[in-house]
Amino acid sequence: MSFLSTTKNKFLFLLSIFLLAEIFSWLAFYFSWINLFILIIIALVTIVLIWQKPIFALYIPLAEIVWGSLGHSFDYGFLSIRLVIFLIIILFWFSKNIFKIKKWQIVTDTRLWPVYLMILFLLMLGIVTGYYKNFTKLDIFLDVNAYFYLLYLPIWYQVYEKKYLKNIFVIIKAAVLVITLKTLIVFNVFSQYLHGIDNDFYRWIRDTRTGEITDMGNNFYRIFFQSQFYLLIAWFWLFIKNWQKFIWLRFIFLSFISAALLISLSRSFWLGGVVALIFLFINLLILNKQKFWLHVLRVLAIGCGAFLIVQVFYNVPKINNINILQQRATDIHEPAVNSRLQLWDPLLQEIKYYPFTGHGFGKQVSYHSQDPRVEGLHSVYAFEWGWLDMWLKAGFIFVLAFIYWFWLLYKRAYGIVKHDIQMALFVLSSITSLIIIHFFTPYLNHPLGLGLLILVTILISYEKRTDHNYKSFNLER
């Protein structure tokens, strides 16, 4: 298609696709047959595209995960858009390549391949342990099913080449723009017009599990989408690009993304972003001392721009009074914070029993909740403390395997810093934010976090294995 020969046209095309997806998701909320229709279309398109070009086994799931939050924008029975795409790609690729393991690119990565196999083994062990201990079968499945997303790693590793990098970030930018605009528009609609959650607009977002809308008082609504995580990732990529060549359009985009992240009122995102930004600044100070303070000023300018954008969407057309951002940052007594704090000791106590092997998936922990919705003694199998969740279920060795994976990415990022500083800084910032966020909000045991981990792994590993200035993986020390 000649229309898609330029980056601009690809961006506009993808933007149109994401916007149409939003419209059809809204319509499907009223007419359930649309869900089935869309899922059939998605299935057919996925089959055709990956048959013609294997790289679509990366493009399609990446586009869905960046845009689709929890992956239920289209549901029909037990099928969801994320599940349909996953099953088609996994079955198609493994049916063709399961007996060609020696030809898999990832097998040549003698540092990553063993730890990947170790993680898969420990996942299986956690499932078996959960069944052996008679944990609820549905809890076991729901607890572990997100980790199946790791099966994308050998596929993405195989199909990715450097020439596809620009398309990957065009996909991410288009999806991030839609999420940003959706956040701001929903925020304005609730702050200015709906004033409550007893409406179909709220139910659409809730029932598709796109996100959460919470009345914070003074007509200020928290608009939190799980996929806003990728706003933070896109922020770092755009900021790093703007570091080397300043473009006003990027600066504006960064301000709008920052505004959406403020409206999310996610302290996990804020903390992960701040820590990653400090880490980025440390690296920039080492690599380019002359322009360090210019970068600081740009961040401050982006912050001011973001605050003004929030004010506009909050106060137009009707003037409101904003003080909720400061309250959110400092309030440690709200239910979400209390639930995390109440879970801390019970989790640590349970971890002590099986610190190395874990209890198995589906393990429940009881704690006294002060959340008005579930006040009293409450038992759950999913926890906000992401790293502790992994430790409890699959053991310290499982956690250690992921730590090694991250260490490998840090090592490789610093290994390419001389010839591809943008990629190196992007990987360093992204994985740092993911590590911090996962402490307080589980993302590494969810496709949203695993998707990023797999993506940066193939990007940095491709750079490493194709850079002749470095030793091959088999000789890496």
User: What's the mean pLDDT in 284-313?
Assistant: 88
Axis crossing angle, helix 7-30 with helix 33-52, rounded to the nearest 10: 150
For residue 471, pLDDT beyond 70: no
Output the pLDDT for position 294.
83
| 3-class SS of residue 215 | strand
Where does the pLDDT of residue 32 fall: very low under 50, low under 70, confident under 90, or very high at 90 and above?
Answer: very high
For residue 268, pLDDT beyond 60: yes
Output the pLDDT for position 343.
86
Cβ atoms of residues 99 and 232 within 8 Å: no
Q: What is the DSSP string of 336-390?
A: HHHHHHHHHHHHHHHHTTSTTT-S-TT--EEEEE--GGG-EEEEES--S-HHHHH
Output the pLDDT for position 194.
84
Where does the pLDDT of residue 217 fall: very low under 50, low under 70, confident under 90, or very high at 90 and above?
Answer: confident
For residue 432, pLDDT beyond 70: yes
Where does the pLDDT of residue 225 fall: very low under 50, low under 70, confident under 90, or very high at 90 and above?
Answer: very high
State pLDDT tens for residues 321-344. Answer: 665 565 555 555 566 666 778 888
Where does the pLDDT of residue 375 fall: very low under 50, low under 70, confident under 90, or very high at 90 and above?
Answer: low
Residues 477, 471: Cα–Cα separation, whole Å: 9
More confident residue, 36 or 341: 36
Output the pLDDT for position 291.
75
User: What's the mean pLDDT in 173-193?
Assistant: 95
User: What's the mean pLDDT in 164-186?
Assistant: 97
Output the pLDDT for position 304.
95
State pLDDT tens for residues 83-124. Answer: 999 999 999 999 999 888 889 999 999 999 999 999 999 999
User: What's the mean pLDDT in 450-459?
Assistant: 97
Where does the pLDDT of residue 190 fall: very low under 50, low under 70, confident under 90, or very high at 90 and above?
Answer: very high
For residue 472, pLDDT beyond 50: no
Output the pLDDT for position 467.
57
Give the global pTM: 0.93
- Tell me the average pLDDT of the chain: 89
Output the pLDDT for position 476.
36
Output the pLDDT for position 94.
94
Question: Would you state the torsion angle of the CA atoms of residues 226, 308, 181, 450, taken in this order, to the nearest 10 degrees?
Answer: -30
Output the pLDDT for position 470.
42
Of 135-139, 236-240, 330-334, minimum mean pLDDT range: 330-334
Q: What angle do CA 167, 170, 173 make, to 5 degrees?
A: 155
Q: What is the DSSP string of 115-171?
A: HHHHHHHHHHHHHHHHHHTT--HHHHHHHHGGGGGGGHHHHHHHH--GGGHHHHHHH
Output the pLDDT for position 468.
45
Cβ atoms of residues 344 and 385 within 8 Å: yes
Output the pLDDT for position 342.
83
